């Protein structure tokens, strides 16, 4: 297509969509970049899309999720964005230079128990690792606790002869016959993947590699995961469970990403697709297929990345209320909190992940009355199908969204900017069921649902703060999720917080986090040493090898050398301590020297004091595991919102409506503002309602919001 057609002729001869395509092609030829970058985060109720139009800023789009056919919801929300920008879908996809996706497929499969059947090959005499776990350390005296079933049942666990000792020496040769017998048995069990975890493979992986060779020869095509390649740590249960989980997800994640890529390519997307990971970054689809366990909980881990970019506060609580769940995470000293003890149901995930706690408290959470007459909200959700009663799509049970409609917080005629009309009558009929059971009025029942949901979410916030020895009042709060702003006012009052933020794109906080995040990968290896006789040469060789492997990952991900960086850490403990903590350290270009050992120990003492409030600088420090994090900058930091002009005149409400305010004794008439029309520096004092296309913000008495240059609401509480 010729790019030199005069503008006057374009305006006269061609429709808007064609003129837009000409403009995009001219810009691509001039700048060498396509028009848009995007991230899609699929939630239980809505699929969120955040688009960055290069040179013009951000925009959020939402459409209902399509469980069982997530690729259809993917295309639906992209088509919605294409229409907004004046493109046919194929042209819009052709102008996307990068599409990032935070997936819930692996998480849902684990939570619902719909993973692939896995067979486990282990050392003779050690078939009970997944049964015994690490013992219930946090509930050791709960004698009523039922012992949970192992992730891989004993009838799919096969023992083989062969032993490696802790120094890497072969004590007993591996029995090839046992391995072949194991494969024949697991074939009869009709497993779909095989996990291999042998003792001390982290110091000598020869036996595990040999098992994989035999399986490949005996059963070509079956996915095989060996533990020392996936998760080389000296914790037997964690290494085994992570290997088994990874194996169980191979067929599921491979099928999902393959179907998604095929659908996108068919619709016209030809550029880079990246998948979110649980370590707070992105990786290409072929890499996530190789290690699918890293896709678990990838969507929620993106929210704290967004918060890091939104505020410079050192300590932040990040919350994200969607349609099904409420997610809480934290930032400490400008660092993401990473936990090695993340749980999925009754099992530990086994690999480090960004610490996000989730509960069943979302806009679609169903309210019910138990046999004792107490009101409960969640964890069961109406989800996307049938959805809350007010959606008019078949739901009849009362949900949090229905209660907010009854309370006047949500305008039924302006949901999703008016694109989706809600049925107030259906919401009232659903909530009246609770009112009749409790013997109270309709509005009182709606508020009971609303505030019960708030207290459920407050308990989740306290779990990651108070229960970890942190006073939440010392932290700044960033509120994300389409439903959260309806609830945040009461929650911060109960918690005693004095400042918080509601981003203008709160409804797509996780999707925005994916849009600005980096490509990330971690390489780990075990090498035991301590600060008395530190193995300088061996540690240097190991860390350099990990860096080479990380660099190879970035090269496969097509990250230019100038955009690569690396972070280093070790797992350390005091001598005779049971558990390690992660400690960052600087790795000089020429490697560590003996003089650096004291710095490593000092860093450990400081980290130990920060976590446990105590340190013992005279104690021996053991280092057990070494990690290199490879990071590729894909330009996410530059994807900011559109800066708004300073607004000199006070904002005027677009309307008024009655909203339930507990402090005022009931339904009161409140001003309703159009947040999308605000400039920067606008001040709104509560009680008031601010409506954006994708969220509704209820300000309570004593709370004052001010917009910053990007339109985010910075709130101060009296």
pLDDT band for 686, please (50, 70, 90 cuts).
very high
Predicted TM-score (pTM) of the model is 0.86
The string of pLDDT tens digits covering residues 625-662 is 999 999 999 887 777 777 899 998 999 999 999 999 99
CA angle, corner 247, sides to 242 and 250, nearest 5?
125
pLDDT for res 26: 45
Alpha carbon 415 to chain centroid, angstroms: 25
Tokens standing for residue 603: 């860093």
Q: Could you tell me which residues come within 8 angstroms of residue 711 by beta carbon, excluding any fewer than 6 positions away?
A: 504, 641, 644, 675, 678, 680
CATH class of 111-255: alpha beta
- Which two tokens mark 353? 């992940």
In the chain, what is the straight-line distance between the N-terminal and C-terminal CA atoms, in Å? 61
Sign of torsion over alpha carbons 53, 54, 56, 59: positive
Residue 342's pLDDT is 85
- Alpha-carbon span 509 to 273, nearest angstrom: 20
Nearest alpha-carbon partner for 562 in 554, 574, 570: 554
Between 358 and 432, the more confident residue is: 432
CA–CA distance, 661 with 400 (Å, rounded to integer): 16
3-state secondary structure of 561: helix
User: pLDDT grade, residue 256 (50/70/90)?
Assistant: very high
Listing DSSP states for 645-710 in one string gives PBP-SPP--SEEEEEEEGGGTEEEEEEEEEGGG--BT-EEESSEEEE-SS-EEEEPTTEEEEE-TT
Separation between Cα atoms, residue 655 and residue 689, nearest integer Å: 10
Nearest to 89 by CA among 56, 54, 55, 49: 49
What are the residues whose beta carbons fall under 8 Å from the beta carbon of 340, sequence distance 6 or more?
Answer: 238, 351, 352, 582
Domain ranges for the chain: 111-255, 523-625, 655-717
Over the stretch 267-311, which tens digit does the pLDDT of each residue have?
Answer: 999 998 999 999 888 889 999 999 999 999 888 899 999 999 999
Beta strand extents in 322-464 (DSSP E only)? 326-332, 335-336, 338-339, 343-344, 347-348, 353-354, 356-359, 365-369, 375-381
Q: Which residue has the higher pLDDT, 616 or 42?
A: 616
- Per-residue pLDDT at 154: 93
Alpha carbons 367 and 375: distance in angstroms, whole number: 7
The H helix count followed by the E strand count for the chain is 19, 35
What is the model's pLDDT at position 54? 83
DSSP secondary structure letter of residue 138: G
The answer to whether 389 and 427 are in contact (CB under 8 A) is yes
- Provide the pLDDT for residue 161: 97
343 vs 245: CA distance, rounded Å: 12
Contact 531, 598 (CB under 8 A): yes
Query: pLDDT tens across 436-446, in order?
Result: 999 999 999 99
> In this predicted model, what pLDDT tens digit does every residue of 482-520 receive, in sequence order?
889 999 999 999 999 999 999 999 999 999 999 999 999
Dist. CA 689–CA 672, nearest whole Å: 5
Cα–Cα distance for residue pair 254/286, rounded to 1 Å: 9
The H-or-E segment that residue 37 falls in is: strand 36-42
Per the listing, tokens 């340190």 go with 615
Please say whether the beta carbons of 170 and 163 come within 8 A. yes
Query: From the CB of residue 490, how many other CB atoms can be counted at a distance below 10 Å?
Result: 21
- Note whether 299 and 70 are within 8 A (CB): no
- The answer to whether 347 and 245 are in contact (CB under 8 A) is yes
DSSP state for residue 315 in the 8-state scheme: S
- Kindly give the pairing relationship between strand 621-632 and strand 564-574: antiparallel
Burial of 98-111, coded b for 16+ CB within 10 Å and e otherwise, reads bbbbbbbbbbbbbe
Contact 250, 109 (CB under 8 A): no
Give me 213's structure tokens. 């060779």
The token duo for 704 is 């004052």
Q: Which of 124-133, 176-185, 300-309, 379-388 has the highest mean pLDDT?
A: 176-185
- Nearest CA to 624 among 594, 599, 600? 600
Is the pLDDT reported for residue 25 higher than 60?
no
Average pLDDT estimate for 691-714: 95
CA distances from 235 to 200, 227, 432 (A): 10, 11, 53
Q: Please name the residues in contact with 99: beta carbons below 8 A apart, sequence gap of 6 or more.
A: 37, 38, 39, 40, 264, 269, 271, 272, 273, 274
Question: Could you tell me if 431 and 442 are in contact, meaning their C-beta atoms sit under 8 angstroms apart?
Answer: yes
DSSP character at residue 194 = E
pLDDT at 546 over 80: yes
Tell me the pLDDT of the chain averaged across its residues.
90
Q: Which helix (H) or strand (E) holds 437?
A: helix 424-438
Q: Which long-range contacts (CB under 8 A, 24 or more apart) does 109-113 make?
A: 109/248, 109/249, 109/252, 110/245, 110/248, 110/249, 110/296, 110/344, 110/345, 111/344, 111/345
Q: How many Cα atoms are found within 13 Å in the side-chain-facing hemisphere of 133?
A: 18
327: helix, strand or coil: strand
- 3-state secondary structure labels for all residues of 458-513: HHHHHHHCHHHCCCHHHCEEEEECCCHHHCHHHHHHHHCCCEEEECCCHHHHHHHH
Query: What span, in angstroms and rounded, lies between the C-alpha atoms of 718 and 705?
Result: 12
Mean pLDDT, residues 519-542: 94
- The percentage of residues in the chain with a pLDDT greater than 90, rounded to a whole number, is 71
pLDDT digits (tens, 9 = 90+) for 79-122: 999 999 999 999 999 999 889 998 878 888 887 788 999 999 99
Instruction: Give, as one character, the DSSP assignment of residue 244.
Output: H
Q: How far apart are CA 691 and CA 96, in angstroms?
A: 29
**CA–CA dist 631, 250 (Å, integer):** 24
pLDDT by residue (tens digit) across 145-180?
677 889 999 999 999 999 999 999 999 999 999 999
Helix (H, G, I), strand (E, B) or coil at 584: strand
Q: What is the per-residue pLDDT across 43-59, written as a single tens digit (0 to 9) for each?
A: 778 889 999 998 788 89
Q: How far is CA 693 from CA 413, 491, 592, 596, 705, in A?
A: 11, 23, 54, 54, 18
Distance CA 234, CA 625 (A): 8
Q: Rounded mean pLDDT of 579-608? A: 94
């Amino acid at each position: 297509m010729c790019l030199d057609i005069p503008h006057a002729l374009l305006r006269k001869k061609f429709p808007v969509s064609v003129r837009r395509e000409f403009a995009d092609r001219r810009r691509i030829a001039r700048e060498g970049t396509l028009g848009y970058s995007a991230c899609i985060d699929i939630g239980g109720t809505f699929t969120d899309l955040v688009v960055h139009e290069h040179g013009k800023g951000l925009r959020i789009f939402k459409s209902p999720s399509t469980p069982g056919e997530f690729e259809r919801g993917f295309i639906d929300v992209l088509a919605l964005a294409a229409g907004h920008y004046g493109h046919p879908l194929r042209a819009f996809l052709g102008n996307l230079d990068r599409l990032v996706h935070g997936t819930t497929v692996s998480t849902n499969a684990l939570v619902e128990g719909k993973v692939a059947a896995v067979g486990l090959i282990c050392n003779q005499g050690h078939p009970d690792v997944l049964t015994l776990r690490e013992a219930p350390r946090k509930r050791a005296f709960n004698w009523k606790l039922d012992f949970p079933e192992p992730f891989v049942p004993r009838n799919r666990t096969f023992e083989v002869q062969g032993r490696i000792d802790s120094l890497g020496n072969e004590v007993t040769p591996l029995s090839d016959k046992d391995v072949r017998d194991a494969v024949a048995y697991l074939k009869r069990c009709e497993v779909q993947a095989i996990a291999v975890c042998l003792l001390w493979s982290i110091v000598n992986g020869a036996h595990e590699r040999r098992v994989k060779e035999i399986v490949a020869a005996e059963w070509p095509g079956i996915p095989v995961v060996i533990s020392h390649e996936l998760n080389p740590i000296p914790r037997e249960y964690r290494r085994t469970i992570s290997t088994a989980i990874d194996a169980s997800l191979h067929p599921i994640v491979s099928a999902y990403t393959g179907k998604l890529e095929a659908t996108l390519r068919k619709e016209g997307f030809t550029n880079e697709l990246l998948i979110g990971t649980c370590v707070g970054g992105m990786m290409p689809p072929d890499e996530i297929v190789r290690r699918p366990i890293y896709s678990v909980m990838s969507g929620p881990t993106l929210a704290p990345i967004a918060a890091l970019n939104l505020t410079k506060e050192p300590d932040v609580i990040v919350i994200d209320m969607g349609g099904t769940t409420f997610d809480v995470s934290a930032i400490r000293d400008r660092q993401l909190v990473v936990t090695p003890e993340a749980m999925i149901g009754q099992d530990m995930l086994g690999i480090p992940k960004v610490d996000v706690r989730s509960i069943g408290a979302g806009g679609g959470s169903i309210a019910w009355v138990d046999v004792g007459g107490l009101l409960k909200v969640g964890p069961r959700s109406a989800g996307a199908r049938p959805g809350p009663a007010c959606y008019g799509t078949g739901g009849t049970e009362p949900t949090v969204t229905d209660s907010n409609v009854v309370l006047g917080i949500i305008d039924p005629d302006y949901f999703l900017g008016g694109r989706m009309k809600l049925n107030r009558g259906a919401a009232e009929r659903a909530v009246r069921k609770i009112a009749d059971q409790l013997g109270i009025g309709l509005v009182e029942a709606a508020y009971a649902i609303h505030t019960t949901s708030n207290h459920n979410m407050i308990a989740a916030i306290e779990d990651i703060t108070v229960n970890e020895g942190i006073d939440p009042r010392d932290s700044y709060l960033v509120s994300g999720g389409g439903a959260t702003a309806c609830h945040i006012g009461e929650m911060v009052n109960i918690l005693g917080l004095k400042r918080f933020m509601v981003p203008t794109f709160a409804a797509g906080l996780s999707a925005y986090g994916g849009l600005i995040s980096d490509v990330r990968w971690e390489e780990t290896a075990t090498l035991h040493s301590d600060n008395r006789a530190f193995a300088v040469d061996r540690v240097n060789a190991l860390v350099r090898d990990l860096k080479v492997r990380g660099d190879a990952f970035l090269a496969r991900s097509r990250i230019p050398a100038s955009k690569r960086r690396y972070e280093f850490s070790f797992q350390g403990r005091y001598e005779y301590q049971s558990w390690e903590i992660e400690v960052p350290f600087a790795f000089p270009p020429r490697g560590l020297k003996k003089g650096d050992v004291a710095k490593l120990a000092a860093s450990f003492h400081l980290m130990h004091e920060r976590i446990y409030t105590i340190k013992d600088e005279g104690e021996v420090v053991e280092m057990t595991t070494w990690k290199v994090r490879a990071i590729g900058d894909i330009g996410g930091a530059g994807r900011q919102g559109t800066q708004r002009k300073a607004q000199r005149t006070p904002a005027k409400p677009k309307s008024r409506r009655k909203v339930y305010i507990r402090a005022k004794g009931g339904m009161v008439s409140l001003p309703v503002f159009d947040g999308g029309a605000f400039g920067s520096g606008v001040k709104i004092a509560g009680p008031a309602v601010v409506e954006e296309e994708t969220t509704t913000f209820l300000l309570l008495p004593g709370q004052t919001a001010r917009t910053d240059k990007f339109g985010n609401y910075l709130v101060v509480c009296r």
